[in-house]
Amino acid sequence: MRSRQRMFAAVMRLLLKCLRLGRRRRFRLVRQVEQLWHYGHLCLRSLLYNSFTNGDVVLDSLFEPVYWLVDHVTRWFGVVFVALVIGLTSSIVAIVYICLLPLILQTYTPGWICWHLAYGHWNLIMIVFHYYMAITTSPGHPPQAKNDLTGVSICRKCIAPKPARTHHCSICNRCVLKMDHHCPWLNNCVGHYNHRYFFSFCLFMTMGCIYCSISGWEMFRDAYAAIERMKLLEKERLQVAANQTYYQTPPPTFSFRQRAFHKSVVYLWVLCSSVALALGALTLWHAALITRGETSIERHINRKERQRLQKKGKVFRNPYSYGSWDNWKVFLGVDVPRHWLTRVLLPSPHLPHGTGLSWDLPPCVTEQRAPLLAI
């Protein structure tokens, strides 16, 4: 009897010891999990904490993978976009020469023929010249010799001095002088040395598309009506063939040349009108920026700076703006009146004012304005 009691007591003591050990292990595991949680939370806060962090910084961090993907896709597809521009432009020129030019020579008066030949070829030459110069001209980069370069800041990517109005292009992976943006349709950055070529290409391409849309409006209406007539006659011909009524004469069929002519005219008008709307809006946007003496990047910088100074009761003035008219003269490189003909209305490879490293007052500026704040 006593031996059984002793055995039962020993078993109970063993069970209690096991329960106590299990409870200690469970408490120890919970404490370890809590310690790991607090440690991870502290590490996360230490990595993310910044007194300048706001909603914009958080959004930029969340969209960083998207930016990386866009940069790499744009870098690899730049050649495809350039080929697309050349292909679409060549197709429009081919349609004009093959389809529209013979019709113009047969139906228009000599005065209108001279006008179309002169204006059309001048516009085409300006488009081809400025597009070629925009894609082949380097936008300008800071020199590699850092000792001779005076920078206003340090580029975080290049770890090198960065002159005023210079920004780093994540697609080209280089700093660009007076960077406006990276254009995938040029496969090149738009900067100090090719900004004029880019804007001139947009302007003359828009003018050419508007010219083709207005000139080809009547032809487009006739071609569209002819295509609808083709569809109707084709439907009637199929109905006649299905009914097998031999006493009826089948409707006439259009030749391949006629179909190709009408569809080419419709294609030309739709493409030119679409490009005129899209590229025209972009051209107006850049014209407004040039009038204010800004680039696309500087617009965002100046807007934030203007809002910050406005809260303090101060006024912001762009130090690189010399007035609307002088901004255009500086941008186009017009020093004397004859330059409006030789440098604006005719192809000209002249260089812009300055080197892009420093921004002294250009000689064509008639009035110097003291800036209130430098960027």
Query: Catalytic amino acids?
Result: 183
CA–CA dist 5, 255 (Å, integer) = 114
Asked if 114 contacts 211 with a C-beta cutoff of 8 angstroms, the reply is: no
Q: List CB contacts of 34: < 8 A, sequence separation 6 or more.
A: none
Query: Which pair of tokens denotes residue 199?
Result: 């804007």
CA–CA dist 47, 137 (Å, integer) = 43
Closest CA to 92 of 283, 277, 264: 264
CA–CA dist 90, 84 (Å, integer) = 10
CA–CA dist 170, 63 (Å, integer) = 15
Please spell the DSSP secondary structure of 156-192, one letter per residue. Answer: TTT-SEE-TT-EEETTTTEEETT--EEETTTTEEE-T
Query: Which pair of tokens denotes residue 112?
Result: 């209108």
Q: In b/e form, how buried is each residue of 6-23, taking b as 16+ CB within 10 angstroms?
A: eeeeeeeeeeeeeeeeee
3-state SS record for 218-271 = HHHHHHHHHHHHHHHHHHHHHHHHHHCCCCCCCCCCCCHHHHHHHHHHHHHHHH
Q: In b/e form, how buried is each residue of 270-294, taking b as 16+ CB within 10 angstroms?
A: ebbbebbeebbeebeebeebbeebb
Closest CA to 186 of 201, 168, 208: 201
